[in-house]
Structure 1
Amino acid sequence: MALAASASSSVIVTRPEREAKAWADDLQARGVRCETLPLIEIAALPEPSVLTPVWQEVHKHLAVMFVSANAVRFFMAARPDNLSLNDCRAWSTGPGTRAALLQAAWPADWIDSPDEAASQFDSEALWSLVAHRVEADVKRWQALNLTASAEQPSVLIVRGADAQGQLAGRDWLALQMEAAGLRVHQTVAYVRQPPRLTPGQQQRARQAMSDGSRWLFSSSEAAQYLMQACPDLPLDHAKALATHPRIAQKLRQSGWPCVELVPPGLQAQAQSIKSSP
């Protein structure tokens, strides 16, 4: 769904290109006028082979937590052919990541993810779902250590890195797991980097700041990259939609004057967008 210079009063989906098109198509099918302007570029690691030894240790972990569908896609692409996924749990924070796991043939019974009707898809929602199992495993390990040496239970987090190689995302879940007695391992499976906007996209971005269009952000990083790509954008009349309170807060702190919180689920999101002025 390409951007058009004549478009106005649209919802501009800013997710990475692969996800942006699917999201915009779904919203469009639900009666929301959409266009896409991907503000995060997703790239493979320079040396994907670094994931091979990580895969060799997968079955030693209590679970593998994937931060996004891209984490699934790039990590699974490095999976050795003879490595089974049976008895290996996967954690995801939302339906998009769960769908990517299922598409990659991860057994459905071994996936923990918030229900599609959940009010929020984030680390907090996931933790409320798996914390009881973590507590049981940690207690079992502590009991074993009274009489024998047992390896401390651990979780592997698969995530992205920014263009400088720094881990992208929050550390909240890792801190919860460590506090519960888990060892946390993290691996980078892909790179998130600023977009290279064409002159036409830059022109559309400027127009969208004052024509009533609403920018849909599911990541505050996308808003940051927008201002890097177009540093002279005026925010006086800019409108934004945020899928999480933390994103909304960061947008307001960055100077966006009109920020509306919308539900994360597509059906509820479409209803919310259509009902707002």
Structure 2
Amino acid sequence: MGMRRLGLILAVVMLIASIGSGVFGCRSPQSKPLPDRSQEEKEPPPRELQQLQTSLERLYEELKPKPAALADEKQAKAGGEETRRSEGEETGEGGQRMERPETAGGIDWSRLHRQVERIHMQWSGLEHKVIQSGARPEDVAGIERELNDLPARVSVEDRSGLRLAANNAAGYLPDFLELYAVRVPADLLRLRYLARDVVNRVDGGDWAGADQDMVKMRELWSRALLQLKDAPRTLTESVHFDIGDLEEAVNKRDRDLVLIKDEIFEKNLDSLVRRLEAEI
């Protein structure tokens, strides 16, 4: 009986072992889940992108329209400088006679030409980086088209055309910034571009185009607010009311009022951007 019992136990053990090897031996090892690329951290934006943004900002500031009273004052001042320049050269250090750079309408076009050259150098260093980061071909082609228009506008001293091309070029930068890790929502930069486009259209008498831009600004601001839940309420409210004031000025068809309201809007928008950047 003892031998039979021992044999029965061994048979049961072997049966269990064979079943286990058949069941578990057929299971393939689980592969590790692929990393979710959408969760990967983006790299910080290239230095050239910030440089290009700053250069386009400065170029626009040189050319932006002024309210009539300020424009007349600046024109009179430029006329006085032109008169002094025509009377002769100025005396520099050591008694040497020096010439002022040539200007037209109070604008130093030689200096703007150098600024445009710098902008093209910055884009040359940035282009391949944004392409490698996934920039859309139409965005790359679009900004190149606007940048290539800058030298021609300078050569014919086309102030409004140069200002428009500079702002249009800047309008592509938010798309590039979204490729990188940034704290400031790109929609805020798009708002600045649209506000300046409003100014450009109003300065050119295109009130219907300005109306359309204001509709886009309203929609864009509503979208941007979703990304600004943690931003200081006082700053977001200021920008919100500034957009309303700018729209009201456009509705009144008052050029100078539009320029004033845009100036206030941009200052408050800059305050919001600086606050967000400081939180990085």
Question: What TM-score, normalized by structure 1, do the two folds share?
Answer: 0.25
Larger radius of gyration: 2
Compare the two structures and name the one with the higher helix fraction: 2
